[in-house]
Chain A
């Protein structure tokens, strides 16, 4: 018995030393061109399946059948995913075929996966595969928008995908100049066309969904500082961080200047959904929101909004954003993100913390609806 044990130990030692020698000598290939052995591939896939199944257990799936979420996810897909996975509009580049493992075809993959599994993979990425984690792990809401889009992906043809990701924007037909706020013509920087307009629009009015904010006529200093905050990971958004990766500070200043100098026009009309409030409810909510914006809620220790975000569309501080005419859904989401402590922002963003700490969710909705209903143009 003792002899057997000794033999086994010696054998294992020899195996370990040989294995170590193989690694240290460098003879083991890490070439992607060779691919994996069949058994290695099976083992890696098996452990991946088990891991995803285990870790995605218990994730609660929100309502994903919402057009605004699908559009938001499509915007991100166009910026961050199709380079490897391709799209119904565009096949994956040839170079991707030489990756190991090869990025899967989304249409067939989505049919095999549960939404929570997609969420887990999109959020955390997969080790040693080239699938990156979400750049802002705080923003589960953004990850869910990509999942909402992926669930629709198998049904999409070229035109439907184009409509979701780009809307009416035609990259080849974009104008060189556009009318500015002062009536003169404004040069359209090429980055706007390539990186911004698909979601925020050439005119900076978003796309009629509350997921892409109005930028037209926003304060320039606020836009510059916000873009820099995104770039420096002080404001958190996986999508914006993915876009800004290709731009330097001078580019960011040009983008801010462009949107700040567009005519200050309000959000595009939002298409109604089933749970839209009636006109009566909306009017009452706006009235409650006006009270909060103008007077605050002193008994709740909530200050008034209007001292920093004037309701006539004017500006008291170029570093504070204009809220008039913004999408209500967008404003509400920002308040929720502030309340969760995950929004981040410019040097002044912390000023919002004591405000949201004492605001109830319905009050956030009311005040968002109020600002959305105010004219964006500064009244004379």
Chain B
């Protein structure tokens, strides 16, 4: 008995606990539907837990009956009583349980599809291969644009207007709610209601090409006053470079032709092909949540674009030497 005990203990410390810990680790974090931070995600998590608990009860019952029938009381069983278990447990119970579940989960639909109250925050998000164009709307008109980052005030409903100019993408912030496809040629909508502050991760949930897995975005849910301050910063034009290095960087930005694709508000750069860089230095990550936001990452992105994100539209700039690359990176970093 003692031996069995020690084997069991060894087995559980070596395998069971680490595996369980690893799997539970996936339940938290910035990209988890089981650690909800929004109304939609809370509903989805509740449905999930109810189904898990129900399924566990059913599983224990079925396995218990099997053990009873095969081990505890082997041999022939009472015909009539067995028939009741088979019909009751095999036909009637599943029908009742599944019907109940369908009704329960369908009851969430109107809530998920409901438009938010008039005057709520509206954000237009375009999914592109492989980044997100985010346009904040003011009374239905574009207010300002950024890329791959969304800030939301906590406790206020927000409506996303979703579209795609190239292929089908899917917009999903697991911690805040369900996902909705972005389909070329039409506009889909999604209403979310963040319930607590924090930094979360959004992803593209529909395979959309070579760098689909490198198409993410950051969602920051913050207190209304922090959000208002962020809004004011994002609305303002880009910061003018003040140091020698960043001034040189801006000259290189112009002379390399970056403005053909990128916009920097407050300068001549007004490209519409690629992410708006007006406040790129303020963002949490670079390249659609692929690289940390620092000078080395800017350099790596500009020089080795295709290594960082295969098949990306932006060409690599080999004509810049190391010093020029640093200056350009410093300028972009200064755009906070």
Taking Cβ atoms with an 8 Å cutoff, the residues of A that contact B are 296, 298-299, 301-308, 316-317, 319-320, 346-348, 350-351, 353-354
Contact = CB atoms under 8 A, between A and B. Distances in A.
Contacts of B259: 307
30 contacts: A296-B272, A296-B273, A299-B165, A301-B313, A302-B273, A303-B260, A303-B271, A304-B260, A304-B271, A305-B260, A306-B260, A307-B257, A307-B258, A307-B259, A307-B260, A307-B271, A308-B257, A316-B254, A316-B255, A316-B257, A317-B257, A319-B319, A346-B319, A347-B318, A348-B318, A350-B315, A350-B316, A350-B318, A351-B317, A353-B315
Nearest to B316: A350
Chain B facing A: main interface SS: loop
**Which of A296, A301, A306, A347 has the most chain B CB atoms closer than 10 A to its own CB?**
A301
Given A301-B273, A304-B260, 9 more contacts: A296-B272, A298-B273, A303-B273, A307-B271, A316-B255, A317-B255, A347-B318, A348-B317, A351-B317
Contacts of B317: 348, 351
B255 A348 contact: no
B314 interface: yes
**Which of A303, A306, A319 has the most chain B CB atoms closer than 10 A to its own CB?**
A303
Contacts of B318: 347-348, 350
B212 to A, nearest CB: 18
A347 B319 contact: yes
Top 5 closest pairs, chain A to chain B, by CB? A307-B260, A308-B257, A303-B260, A298-B272, A347-B319
B213 to A, nearest CB: 21
A351 B273 contact: no
A289 to B, nearest CB: 16
Nearest to B255: A317
B236 interface: no
Contacts of A354: 313-315
Contacts of B316: 350
Nearest to B269: A307
B87 to A, nearest CB: 62
Contacts of A350: 315-316, 318
Nearest to A295: B272
Interface string B244-269: 00000000001111111100000001
A296 B263 CA distance: 13
A301 B259 CA distance: 14
Contacts of A347: 318-319
Contacts of A305: 260
A319 B319 CA distance: 9
Chain A facing B: main interface SS: loop
Nearest to A348: B319
A322 B319 CA distance: 17
Contacts of A299: 165
A311 B314 CA distance: 23
A308 B260 contact: yes
A296 B271 contact: yes
Nearest to B262: A303
B301 to A, nearest CB: 15
B121 to A, nearest CB: 26
B260 A296 contact: yes
A306 B254 CA distance: 12
A301 B255 CA distance: 21
Interface string B264-294: 0000010111000000000000000000000
B325 to A, nearest CB: 13
A320 B315 contact: no
Contacts of A302: 273
A163 B269 CA distance: 49
A299 B258 CA distance: 18
Nearest to A317: B255
A350 B313 CA distance: 11
Nearest to A350: B315
A252 B238 CA distance: 43
Contacts of B273: 296, 298, 301-303
**Which of B257, B261, B316 has the most chain A CB atoms closer than 10 A to its own CB?**
B257
B162 to A, nearest CB: 18
B172 to A, nearest CB: 24
Contacts of A319: 319
A298 B126 CA distance: 14
A304 B273 CA distance: 9
A133 to B, nearest CB: 29
Contacts of B255: 316-317
